[in-house]
Amino acid sequence: MEEILKEIEQYCLISIDTPLLANLNMIENIALIPEVHKHTSIKKAQELAQNSLAKIDKENIALKRMHQLNEVEIFYVLIARALMDERETIVIVNPLSILKHVEFLAIAMKNLAILNEEKNIIILENDINRFHYEGMWVFNGI
Partner 1 sequence: MVLRFIEGVGDKTINIVLEFFEALKFIFLCITHMLIPASYNPAMRMVLTKQIYFTSVGILPLFSMMAMFFGSIIIGIVIVLATEYNLEKSIGSIIINFVLDEFSPFFTALLISLRSGTAINTEIAVMNVNKELNTLKQYNIDLIDYLFLPRIISGMISVTSLSIVFAIIMLSSGYLFTLFYMNMDLHTYQNLLLGAVEIQDIVMLILKGLAFGFVITLIPIYSGLKTTHSYTAIPISVLNGMVKLFIAIFLIEVLSLVIQSI
The site for partner 1 (CB under 8 A) is made up of 12-13, 17-23, 32-33, 35-37, 39-42, 45, 81, 85
- Give me the sign of the Cα torsion angle 55, 80, 113, 127: negative
Whose CA is closest to 31, among 16, 13, 19, 49? 49
Nearer to partner 1, 21 or 122 (CB): 21
| CB-nearer residue toward partner 1: 23 or 128 | 23
To partner 1, the closest distance from the beta carbon of 80 in angstroms equals: 13
Task: Using CB atoms within 10 Å of the CB of residue 134, give its burial: 0 to 12 exposed, 13 to 18 middle, 19+ buried.
Answer: exposed
Decide: helix, strand or coil at residue 64: coil
Closer of 23 and 141 to partner 1 (Cβ): 23
- Least distance (Å) between residue 98 CB and partner 1: 13
What's the min distance (Å) between Cβ of 113 and partner 1?
23
Of 58 and 81, which CB lies nearer to partner 1 in the complex structure?
A: 81
Whole-angstrom distance, CA of residue 122 vs CA of residue 130: 16
Provide, rounded to whole angstroms, the least separation between the CB of residue 47 and partner 1.
Answer: 13
User: 89-93 and 120-124: which strand pairing?
Assistant: parallel
